Structure 1
Amino acid sequence: MSEPAAAVGPRKWYSFTLSQQIVIGLVIGVFLGWWLSGLDPAAKAQWNKALVVVRDVFLHLIKVMIAPLIFASVVQGFAGTGDMKKAQRIGWKSLVYFEIVTTLALVVGLLAVNIMKPGVGVVLQLDQAQSTAGLAKPQTWDQIILHAFPTSLMDSMARNDVLQVVCFAVIFAVAVIAAGPAGKPVLDFCGSLTQVMFKFAGIIMKFAPFGVGAAIAVTVSHQGVGSLFTLAKMIFTLYGALIVFVVFVLGAVVWIAKVPLKPFAKAVREPFTIAFATANSEAALPKAFDNMEKVGVPRGIVGFVLPAGYSFNLDGSTLYLAVASVFVAQAAETTTGIHFSIGAQITMMLMLMLTSKGVAAVPRASFVVLVAALESFGLPTAGAFLILGIDALLDMARTSVNVLGNCLASVVVARWEGEFDDAKAAAYAATPDPKP
C-alpha cells in the first residue's frame, strides 16, 4: 500500500523529482552541446569522448536488463493466468491494433509530406558516389517470420533481440502452464526475477539525468545549432506530422478506449523524455514497463504488448518512412524533372507497411528500410544520405513517438480485455512523485 500523500510532506524547493531532473539534464545538455559546437575540433573531441562514456555507461546498464526483464515479465504474466485462450486473445488483439495504428501513421505522413512539400526545390548531387554496400539488407516477409524464432536463447539475449526473446518466452509460458504443479517453481522464480529487475531499473534510473544530458550534448555538439536550420522544412514537416498523429490519431484512441489522460500522461512522461534524449527505445523500456503496471495495466499484458510493439508498432518510424521517402521523390523531381505520382507513392506505402514491420531487427533501422524503398522504386539514394545529415534530430522525435504509441497500446489492450484498473490509475495520478 502506497504511503498517503499527507505523510510525504512538502518537498523542499531544491529537491526535484526524477522527471524534473531528467528535463533539467536535457536542457543543460542542449546548452553544453551548443557550447561545445563552438570549440576547436581537438577540444571538442576530448569533451565528446568523456560525454560518450557517460552516455554509453547509462545505455549499457539499461540494455543489460532488457532481456531478463522481458523474459521474466512475459512468462510470469502469461503463465500466471493459467489461461491459454486469454494469452491468444491478447496476442491477436495486439496485432490488430498495431496494424491499424501504423497504417494510420503512414497515411498521416503521406498527407503531411504532400501538403508541405519539403523536398520541392532541394537539388540532389546525383554525381556523388554514395555507396550502400555496407548497409544491412531489410528483411522480406518470410525472413521476418523466420527471424522471430530463435535458434539460441542465449544468443538472442546477448543481442537484445526483443522479438526472439518474446517469442521464446510466450512458448515457454505455454510449457509452464502445461507442466501444472511442476511449473510452479519456475513461475515463482520469474515473478521474483521481475521484481528484482524493477528494483535494478530503479537504481539505474538515478543515473538517467546524467545519461540523458550527455546524450543530447553529444548530438547537439556534432550537429550544431545550425543543423536546426539545415533542411528546416523537412524537420518541421516530420515534427508537425508526428504532433498531428499524436493529437488526432492517438488522441482519438485515448477517447475511444476511455484512457484516463492524467494518469497516462504522468506514467509516460519519463519514458518519452528518455527516448527523445537518447534516441533509443531500449533506454525507455524498463521505465515504461514499471509505469504502465503502476497506472493499472496487468503485468501479463504489459509484458507482451510493449516488447511486441518494438517490432510491430513503430508509429513514429513508419510515419518517418512515409515523409522521408516522398521527400526524396520530390527532391528527385526537382533535380531530374521525373514526376513521382500519387499512385506510385501509395504503392511505396503498401511496401513500407510490410518492410517497416521488421525494422527493429535491421541494423541502422529506418535508414536501411528507406534506402531499400528508394532503390526499389528507382529513386536516388543520394536523397537518403542528404537526410542522414539531420537524422539524429529526426530519430529523437520518431523514437519518442514509438515509445508513446507502445505505452498507449498496452493500456488499450488492457481496456479491450476488461482488465484495466481505473482505481489504480486514479491512485497513481494522485500520488506525489517520489524523490529519487
Structure 2
Amino acid sequence: MKKIYNNLTFRVLTAILLGILLGHFAPSTAAQMKPLGDVFINMIKMVIAPIIFLTIVLGISNMGDLKKVGRVGGKALLYFEIITTIALVIGLVVANLIRPGDGVVTTGLATSGSAEAVSRYAQQSAEMDWMDFFMHVVPSNAVGAFAEGDILQVLVFSVLFGMGLTRMGSSGQSLIRAFDRLSKVFFNILNIVMKLAPIGAFGGMAYTIGTYGLAALLPLGKLMITVYVTMFLFIFVVLNLVLRYYKISLWQLLKYIKEELLIVLGTSSSESVLPLIMDKLEHLGCSRSVVGLVIPAGYSFNLDGTTIYLSMAVVFLAQVFQVDLTLAQELTILGILMVTSKGAAGVTGSGFIVLASTLTAVKVIPLEGLALLLGVDRFMSEARAITNTIGNTVATVWLARNENELDMKRLRQVFNKEEIDPLANYDY
C-alpha cells in the first residue's frame, strides 16, 4: 500500500479525481484553487530557462562539430514542418467529414465578458506580424530573455553560447565541467519541485471544472469529442508510423512518460513538464545535444495538438455560421495556419490570437465566433498540451535515432525496466 501511495502516477491521478469532484460539487470553492496550479507551474518555469541553457550548451560543446549542430537543427525544422502540415490537413479533413458545427445555436453560448475578450484577441492578431516574430527570436538582452522565460530567445542565445564555448577548445573544459555540476543542481531542484505535482494538478483541474462546469461542455460537445478523437488518431496512427520506421514502440514510450502526461492533464500546460521530458529522454538514451536542440525548438515549432485544433476550429466556425468554404479557401486557410501557428509561438493565449488572425485574413467567417469557443477552450487545452508533449517526445526520439545518437540497447533496457549501470557509456 505504501509503495502505491508513493507512486507519482497514483498521486497525480488521485489529485485530478479530487479536483474534478470538488469542481463539480463545490464550484465556488474549487474556483479559488487556481493559485495552487499557477504556483506549481511558476516553480517549473523558474528552472526551465537555466536547464535549457545548460543542456544546450553542454550538448553542443560535447558534440564538438558545429556542422553537426546545423545539420541536426535543419533536420528538426524540416521534420516539424512536415508533421505539423500533416496535422493541419488531418484537422481540416476530419472537420469537413464530421461537421461538428452543424446545428450549433449561436445565441446564448457566449459567456460574460466574451465580447471584450474577442476584441482583445482581434487587436493582438492585428499586431502580430511574421517579420515581428523573426525580430523577436533574437533577444536584445540575454538577461531579459532568461528573466521573461522566453524559450525561443533562450534557445538562440544558448546555441550561440555553446558555439562560442566550443571554439575555445581545451581551454573551455573547466567551464564545461562547472556547467555540468550546475546542471545537476538545477535537476535536483526540479526533483524537489516535482513532489508538489499532485497539488498543482489538483488546483488546475479543480479551477477548470469549478469555473466552467461540466455543463459548459454540452453545447459544443460534438466539437470537443471530434477534437479529442482526431488527436488520438493522430498520435496512434501518424506518430506511431513515425516511430515504427525505426522499430520503436510508441506504446512503450507513452508508458515511459505517463507521469508527465498526467501532470500535463492536470495543469493544462505542456511547459510544466518540459525539463522533465528532457531529463527522461536523456535517460532513455538520446544524446544530450539532440535533446537540447529538438525539445526547446519543438515547443515553438512542433505544436501538433495546437495545429489540429486550429484547423478544426476554423472549419467549425464556418459551419456554425453556415459559410460554405471552397477548396481554394480551405487551402488558403491551410497556408495561413502554416505560418501563423509558428508566428505566435510563446505568446500567452496564442491559440486564440492565431484563430483571430486567421479569421481576419480569410474575411468570410465572423470574428465574433471566437466567443463560442471561450467557454470550452480550457477543456480542449488538455488535449492540445498532451498531443504537443507526445509530438515533441516522438520527434526527439526519431531525430536522435536518425542521427545515430540514440542508444537502442539502453532504450530497450529502460522500456523493459532492467537495471541500468549509471556509469555506462552510451552506445551510439
TM-score (structure 1 length as normaliser): 0.90
SS in 2 for 1:361: coil
User: How far, CA to CA, are the matches of 1:196 and 1:13 in structure 2?
Assistant: 27
- Determine whether 1:381 maps to 2:367: yes
SS in 1 for 2:344: helix
- Determine whether 1:393 maps to 2:382: no
1:360 Cα deviation (Å)? 2.2
Q: Where does 1:97-136 land on structure 2 (aligned, <5 Å)? A: 97-125=79-107, 130-131=115-116, 132-135=118-121, 136=124
1:292 Cα deviation (Å)? 1.0
User: How far, CA to CA, are the matches of 2:344 and 2:380 in structure 1?
Assistant: 16
Query: Quick check: 1:26–1:213 contact (8 Å CA) kept in 2?
Result: yes
Query: Quick check: 2:4–2:10 contact (8 Å CA) kept in 1?
Result: no
CA-atom RMSD in angstroms:
2.0
Q: Which residue of 2 aligns with 1:7?
A: none
Q: Where does 1:201-350 land on structure 2 (aligned, <5 Å)? A: 201-261=190-250, 263-333=252-322, 338-350=323-335
Choose 240-249 or 178-187, whichever is displaced more.
Answer: 178-187
Cα gap change, 1:70 to 1:320, in 2 (>3 Å): same
Q: Which residue of 2 aligns with 1:412?
A: 398
Cα gap change, 1:331 to 1:267, in 2 (>3 Å): same
Instruction: Give the counterpart letter for 1:17 in structure 2.
Output: N
Aligned residues: 410
CA displacement, residues 151-173 of structure 1 (integer Å, 9 cap, x when unaligned): 11111111111011001100111
The sequence identity of aligned pairs, in percent, is: 35
Cα gap change, 1:352 to 1:14, in 2 (>3 Å): closer
Given candidates 54, 61, 79, the residue that maps to 1:72 is 54
1:255 Cα deviation (Å)? 0.7
TM-score (structure 2 length as normaliser): 0.91
Query: Quick check: 1:73–1:190 contact (8 Å CA) kept in 2?
Result: no
SS in 2 for 1:362: coil
- Determine whether 1:21 maps to 2:6: no
Instruction: Give the counterpart letter for 1:69 in structure 2.
Output: I
CA displacement, residues 110-168 of structure 1 (integer Å, 9 cap, x when unaligned): 11100110111224359x99354433236333222221111111111111110110011
Instruction: Give the counterpart letter for 1:241 in structure 2.
Output: T
Choose 359-368 or 262-271, whichever is displaced more.
Answer: 262-271
- Determine whether 1:35 maps to 2:25: yes
User: How far, CA to CA, are the matches of 1:28 and 1:125 in structure 2?
Assistant: 34
Unaligned runs of 5+ in 2: 420-428
CA displacement, residues 340-369 of structure 1 (integer Å, 9 cap, x when unaligned): 223211211111001101232323111110
User: How far, CA to CA, are the matches of 1:369 and 1:302 in structure 2?
Assistant: 28
User: How far, CA to CA, are the matches of 2:4 and 2:255 in structure 1?
Assistant: 21
1:425 Cα deviation (Å)? 1.4
Instruction: Give the counterpart letter for 1:115 in structure 2.
Output: L
Instruction: Give the counterpart letter for 2:99 in structure 1.
Output: K
Query: Quick check: 1:150–1:164 contact (8 Å CA) kept in 2?
Result: yes
User: How far, CA to CA, are the matches of 1:367 and 1:47 in structure 2?
Assistant: 25
Given candidates 327, 346, 354, the residue that maps to 1:361 is 346
1:187 Cα deviation (Å)? 1.7
Instruction: Give the counterpart letter for 2:343 in structure 1.
Output: G
Query: Quick check: 1:59–1:211 contact (8 Å CA) kept in 2?
Result: yes
User: How far, CA to CA, are the matches of 2:175 and 2:119 in structure 1?
Assistant: 46
